[in-house]
Structure 1
Amino acid sequence: MDLSEIARLAEAEADRRLQRGMSAWAVPEPMTLDEWAQEHFYLSAESSYVEQRWTPWTFQRAIMACISNDDIYEIDLKKSARVGYTKILLAAVGYFAHHKRRNQALWQPTDEDRDEFVKTELDPMLRDVPVMRDVLPSYVSRHKDNTLQAKKFIGSMLHTKGAKAAKNFRRISVDVAELDEVDAMDRDVEKEGDPFTLAAKRVEGATFPKVIVGSTPKLKGFSLVDERYTLADERFTFQIPCPHCGERHALTWGGKDEPHGLKFTDRDPATARHLCPHCATLIDHGEYLAVESQGVWINEDGTIWLHADGRFTTPAGDGVPTPRHIAFHVWTAYSPAVSWAQIVREFLAAREAMERGDETKMKAWTNTTRGECWEGEIERTDAEELKQRAEPFKIRLLPRDCLLLLCGADTQGNRLEAQVWGYGLGGQMWTIDHRVFFGNPAQEDVWLEFEEFILGETYQHASGTTQSIYATAVDSGGHHADAVYAFAHKHRARRVYAVKGSSGVERSIENGNTKVGFNWQGKREKHGPTLWHVGTNLAKDRLAARLEITQPGPGYVHLSADNTDEWFRQLAAEDRVTVRTQAGTQSRWTPNRKRNEVIDMTAYAIWLEERLDLWAPKRKRWWSDLEEQVQPTIEDLFGANPQPAPQRPAAQTSASEPASAPLLPRPAVQPSRKLARAW
């Protein structure tokens, strides 16, 4: 070999090495997770019935497209078994490591679950998907970069954790947080918070943060994924066109008396068909498979369609803004790998066991086949019944015997809401006012408007006097806790409290407090305010008990007919679910709809009753003085305009103790803006 040949080979080798080194900075051609999976992903023998290249089903493709959409922050999947979520999750891990080069953290319920997932699912995927070798050179060796706890890729890192210990949510900063089987995780991880909040903190500083949550639901009222599903901006079901009428509908179980869903005759699984809710025609599993590729995901009110390629459109095909938090529900009937006859066969076996007194099989079938929560004993308040018992008194006018005003407030992403309740002797309650203050709670304007309301608003009493709001509890949950802390700390002398629902065991409605530090507008409070913990389940139990009282008097809840239909729906927006667990019988209030601000704010008002100790025996004289001030005795029964008694100065109080004398009316503060509107 002459020198020129050696030089040519050396130049080729140098060029190869240069290209390999520069490839770390190369920008790959954009592609979605669905496209990446169809090109690269492979089903390993250890985790699949058939070892082969993967072709996603239509309903899976849209979910995968959303996972790779940087405009979507949170994705929740409430699912049954056998719908391919584990494969979607594995493909997402490979996609973010190979294509996006983003740091990830994946949590399983326990360390043991993590180890099993890595050994039987993750490691085989890294071995059998060839492109993963480009970013994980140590994939076949015992190496510090390839362990059960972490995989160090070229350009990114994957942390695999168990969710049992709070320490597993610390000291990592990632772009993508993935939580698998969250209903098997602790609701309050070592008393430091729920797993979603702890995981979301790990992506807080990312350029394109993403939280992916998937689980089979378990017990109604205790299901973390069900709560996440309820809180999503948009909730989607996969809907197919009927082969006979062309109208779209979701696959449902329905029920014996429902005009839709899976139907069968004479307890024969072979007769299983799906009844179209539009044309009442039965379709079989083969007809479903023929139109499955034409299915689209549709939100609850039918205004947004999500296509397999990830596009969000109107039904007419026009583009719409991408939601930031979306949720999907999918169950076994959608899986081409499971026949409808098999679903019916499993149901019949579970029903036979239930008739013998064993409900465990039906519980498992409901969770793992239907992808729904198992419901125990349910107590439900009907919104229409509440509306029918409403009285014709005007809101913002205080009736006789209404002596004190308490306000519960809620923070949302684009507004503050306030619910004012009037109180009388013995816990009698009246709906007085509901206000909405639009604005970003991260900015000061909306808080100034809210301040003018709770400190300056006055209400006319039937006796001729005026009343102001005596105390306020503001929910600090969500993304604006620091703003709530700052506001409550500023007005602590006016009985304004920052509150939050208790996440652990509730000992009482007033469930303790915690000193908190906070940053608000760049300022750090050295001696932070107090965060008060509300036993919301116990508070709602008290409300439910009062709503059962049928005659006006102590404990009766007076509802104004001036409240809107939506207000009544929100007051009845939660069910009391009782379930039997290994720890014994447990009960919890759980939302039955997304909007439930009214019942939450009412619970905060009931917490104020406890904080102010309104029903203690020592308060009897206090209530007598208050009644004398608010509705003084009228000597002349025929006097047209009764005059209030002379007002006495209110006693100065601390933030933690109620006044020894009632707080007298204050002059109204004239608002500088009118951002608030009445509901």
Structure 2
Amino acid sequence: MQPETEWRPRSEHPPQLFERAATFLQTPPKLSPDQWARQNRKYPASAGVPGQRDPSLTPYVIAFTQAVAESAAGRVVAVMGAQMGKTDSELDIVGHRLDQRPAPILWVGPTKEFLVDQQEPRILGLLEEAPRLSAKLQRGKRMKKTRKIVAGVPIRLAHAGSSSALKSDPAALAIVDEYDEMLANIKGQGDPLGLVEARGDTYADFVTVVTSTPSQGHIETEVDPVSGLEFWKPADPDAVKSPIWALFQQGTRYHWAWPCPHCGEYFIPRFSCLVVPKNATPAQARRGSYIQCPYGCVDPIEDHKHKAAMNARGRYVAPGQTIDRDGNVEGAPPDSSTISFWVSGLASPFRTWGQRAERYLTALGSGDDNEIQTAMNAGFGECYTLGGLGETPEWQEVLAKRVPYRLGDLPREVLRITAGVDVQKRSLVYVVRGFGARGSSWLLDFGQIYGPTAEQDVWDELETTLMTPIRGRMIDCVFVDSGFRPGKATAGDEHRVYEFALRFPRWVFATKGHDAQTTPLRPSKIEVLHNGKKAKSSLTLIHLDSDFFKSLVHSRVRMEIGRPGSFHLPLGAEDAGMMSGGVTEDYARQIVSEGRVINPANGKASWVKRFKDNHFLDCEAMAAAAGYMLRVHTIKESEQRSGEDAVQVVVEQPRPAPPPRQKQPDQQAQQAEPQETPRRPRDPWLSADGGGQRRKGWL
């Protein structure tokens, strides 16, 4: 047999090898991620919207993808609801980078199941559907579920539960998906975002993309004095439990704005803009919901008529910038190394406003806070405050209880006076409240005495404060909290409370709060001092149902001024051009610093934090409990003090309070006149031709 001397290629299809080689050698045209997606991505027939990929269907993601491609900042954050095209925009970013500037990519998800079941099939679909990527994809043994090689560089999938996977490879681009679902700490090795960003130290143009629907946080709005637009107000970090929202606040805070189809003015859509027919069922809400222009236009903004056109003309605007009716954005955004975007779930082309409203009302009807939170987070892209809807007042409602008198005055209706004292490690917080007919009450004094509560000085000052008569009238009963949580860093010493109560056994009572008990108030006897020896006389300890008395305070706040049981606060008076002798915003916020939540599984109530400090709420609850022990709710309306010390309070219409941020869906937005705004320097990211277009296409 004659040996073969002629070389023959192993492949039976040598032309394909040359085609693939040609793909590698071609210089791709310079494209933005959205342009690349239009040319290279195509959805299968089984997709919800089959055919060629069209990023303009979700125009609010285009600026986000272009900011990443330009490496405009080291971190780019996007906050939005569910079913808004977020994952597809991330795939556009990945495909664009692998084709245009191949470099290692790290994609991080919250769990292994999330990556393997949801993200890996979509990433593989991207690599197979785009011809330019498919030709560069290495198959066979080198292709794994969590690692693909494209154009000679890896794209690795990792989950937040594996710190070793997060630290395994360097990367030029990292995508952190559904950040709020990730573990706050990975095996004691820090936040997953910190581990991810450490992978990019060797790349000068490294970018971290962080996306998620938000979770919990008490977020309010504020009107920008420059543009008149209503933006999300940066919240106290302690009031924000949503990690993605905390990152958004640290960044440029771009908000997606729409032009009203009736007046042409731009506004920022959010949950409070949604209007649902009054007393509508979820099904009726699906058919009849619409958006109301915040500038007072009478005609409704309708989903099927207006949303697509408003999205097409939508623009991102940051605080400090202005936007005219033509969509031209002027002014520089806030200076930050993080570019952050927020867009309302109302902008989604895949869900109608009626569907969003239907889901919200269904969740509201269930009474399950988890369902309500999901409806707010996923449906509207907004944070949710536990206890924030329903029974819990807003701080503006507290300030609305101000009537014309000052701290230290004694309204003639006051017949009993109580005080509540909250004990901290380094201070004592107190309120003094006067009660009249059927439990109506007036705040007479409040404050905070600073000093280590393990020392005697601060207790002596408290004694002086409580022993000082108010217009000749002494305090009838004082409740002092001794129910500290073990291990709490700011907790005081309960034995100091017992010692103080023993000094005034008929006037001062130590208390312990309980989540629930059979009666609102239950006394008991204790006989132990801090040194372990028996006391000469027993001490009365009052056990309180915290749920009952905190709920009582909030119900009194909701009570209309003038009705029995109503809750009054001092307005104060003008002194040297300033208001003094009244309550502060901090006091009002503390009164609503906790919200009542019912667990649908067992029907039990719990109180969750909305704001950092809750001392005045605790004090008011104890003052109310002391009043309850004195039976102030049985005082007859005919009883009233007289004399020179009595101050007559003329109850006028209470001062109107600014509306709370979160409204029920059947409420219309507050109307506001558009303000004349001064011209601002043009955004440096805008082109100089006056067309209002961002350089390189984004924003």
Cα distance in 1, alignment partners of residues 383 and 256 from structure 2: 19
Letter in 1 for 2:377: N
How many angstroms does 1:174 deviate by?
A: 0.4
SS in 2 for 1:234: coil
Cα distance in 2, alignment partners of residues 590 and 33 from structure 1: 40
Write out aligned runs for 1:445-524 (5 A).
508-509=488-489
Cα distance in 2, alignment partners of residues 66 and 134 from structure 1: 27
2:597, 2:606 within 8 Å by CA — same for their partners in 1? yes
Report whether the alignment pairs 1:177 with 2:190: no
- The residue aligned with 2:88 is 87
Cα distance in 1, alignment partners of residues 209 and 593 from structure 2: 27
- The residue aligned with 1:186 is 183
1:78, 1:226 within 8 Å by CA — same for their partners in 2? yes
Cα distance in 1, alignment partners of residues 487 and 311 from structure 2: 51
Match of 1:216 among 184, 198, 213: 213
Q: 1:131 to 1:278 in 2, by over 3 A?
A: same
TM-score, normalised on structure 2?
A: 0.50
Residue segments in structure 2 that go unaligned for 5+ positions in a row: 1-12, 218-239, 408-425, 427-447, 456-485, 492-577, 579-583, 614-699
Report whether the alignment pairs 1:201 with 2:198: yes
TM-score, normalised on structure 1?
A: 0.51
- The residue aligned with 1:315 is 329
Count of equivalent residues: 407
Cα distance in 2, alignment partners of residues 314 and 320 from structure 1: 14
- The residue aligned with 1:264 is 277
- The residue aligned with 1:54 is 53
Match of 1:278 among 285, 295, 309: 295
Write out aligned runs for 1:509-658 (5 A).
509=489
Match of 1:163 among 160, 165, 170: 160
Write out aligned runs for 1:101-180 (5 A).
101-138=102-139, 142-144=140-142, 146-180=143-177
Deviations 1:644-669 (A, max 9, x none): xxxxxxxxxxxxxxxxxxxxxxxxxx
Letter in 2 for 1:426: T
Q: 1:361 to 1:588 in 2, by over 3 A?
A: closer
Match of 2:268 among 250, 259, 275: 250
Cα distance in 2, alignment partners of residues 575 and 209 from structure 1: 41
Q: 1:199 to 1:425 in 2, by over 3 A?
A: closer
Write out aligned runs for 1:295-374 (5 A).
295-303=314-322, 315-316=329-330, 323-354=336-367, 358-374=368-384
1:118, 1:148 within 8 Å by CA — same for their partners in 2? no
SS in 2 for 1:190: coil
Residue segments in structure 1 that go unaligned for 5+ positions in a row: 1-12, 255-259, 308-312, 392-404, 406-420, 429-505, 512-560, 562-566, 593-598, 600-679
Letter in 2 for 1:276: C
Cα distance in 2, alignment partners of residues 136 and 591 from structure 1: 51
SS in 2 for 1:202: helix
Cα distance in 1, alignment partners of residues 104 and 310 from structure 2: 38
Cα distance in 2, alignment partners of residues 279 and 124 from structure 1: 47
How many angstroms does 1:19 deviate by?
A: 9.6
How many angstroms does 1:78 deviate by?
A: 1.9
Q: 1:116 to 1:382 in 2, by over 3 A?
A: same
Q: 1:578 to 1:273 in 2, by over 3 A?
A: closer
SS in 2 for 1:214: strand
- The residue aligned with 2:632 is none
Letter in 1 for 2:287: A
Q: 1:122 to 1:23 in 2, by over 3 A?
A: closer
Cα distance in 1, alignment partners of residues 605 and 199 from structure 2: 35
Deviations 1:376-412 (A, max 9, x none): 2479997998xx9xx9xxxxxxxxxxxxx9xxxxxxx
SS in 2 for 1:189: coil
Cα distance in 2, alignment partners of residues 23 and 585 from structure 1: 64
Match of 1:426 among 445, 453, 457: 453
2:259, 2:265 within 8 Å by CA — same for their partners in 1? yes
Cα distance in 1, alignment partners of residues 26 and 274 from structure 2: 51
How many angstroms does 1:185 deviate by?
A: 1.1
Q: Percent identity?
A: 18
- The residue aligned with 1:665 is none
Cα distance in 2, alignment partners of residues 111 and 194 from structure 1: 17
Q: After alignment, is 23-32 or 285-294 more displaced? A: 23-32
- The residue aligned with 2:514 is none
1:107, 1:161 within 8 Å by CA — same for their partners in 2? yes
2:120, 2:146 within 8 Å by CA — same for their partners in 1? no
Deviations 1:79-105 (A, max 9, x none): 211101111112222111112212110
How many angstroms does 1:303 deviate by?
A: 4.6
Letter in 2 for 1:339: T
How many angstroms does 1:568 deviate by?
A: 9.1
How many angstroms does 1:148 deviate by?
A: 0.8
- The residue aligned with 1:433 is none
- The residue aligned with 1:100 is 101
How many angstroms does 1:28 deviate by?
A: 3.5
Superposed CA RMSD in Å reads 4.7
Cα distance in 2, alignment partners of residues 297 and 82 from structure 1: 20
